[in-house]
Amino acid sequence: MKIGEASRQSGVSAKMIRYYESIQLLEAAPRHDNTYRDFSGDDIHTLRFIHRARALGFSMEEVAKLIGLWRDKTRSSRDVKAITNAHITDLKERIKTLQGMVSTLEHLACHCHGDERPNCPILEGLGE
């Protein structure tokens, strides 16, 4: 199967498929007649895995580790869970940071008239 079809079936852009190959996240696909890549059903499976892991916010580095574990039938689920839990912790921290921003901003915004007048507590808050 050519790269366009692989892209359609996996949801990963052709550009990114080539990129994943270049960083060795994906084994180099054999070339059909020495120019076009030829993907297998297995490749699609891997691409879908990557796609889902990325959608869950895992970094490429984490995805690489997860793929390693996924392929290793003798893995311990402990290792997978550790990566996942670390990622969850990271996500929660980011959420907290963003929520802090929102609450500060809402606090500033709720005192701002938002009309023609130049007086603005938001700018005052930023300028102190």
Given the rule CB under 7 A, which residues bind DNA?
A: 2-5, 13-16, 18-19, 33, 35-37, 54, 59-61
Q: How many residues appear in the chain?
A: 128
CA-based nearest residue to 12, from 64, 59, 53? 53
Nearer to a second copy, 31 or 45 (CB): 45
Asked if 44 and 10 count as a contact pair (C-beta separation under 8 A), the reply is yes
Nearer to a second copy, 22 or 98 (CB): 98
In the complex, minimum distance from the CB of residue 14 to DNA, in angstroms, rounded to a whole number: 6
Nearer to DNA, 8 or 111 (CB): 8
Distance CA(3)–CA(14), nearest Å, equals 6
Asked if 62 and 25 count as a contact pair (C-beta separation under 8 A), the reply is no
In the complex, minimum distance from the CB of residue 18 to DNA, in angstroms, rounded to a whole number: 6
Phi, psi dihedrals of residue 55, rounded to the nearest 5°? -65, -25
| Contact characters 39-78, a second copy, x per CB under 8 A | ------x--xx--xx-xxx--------x--xx-xxxxxxx
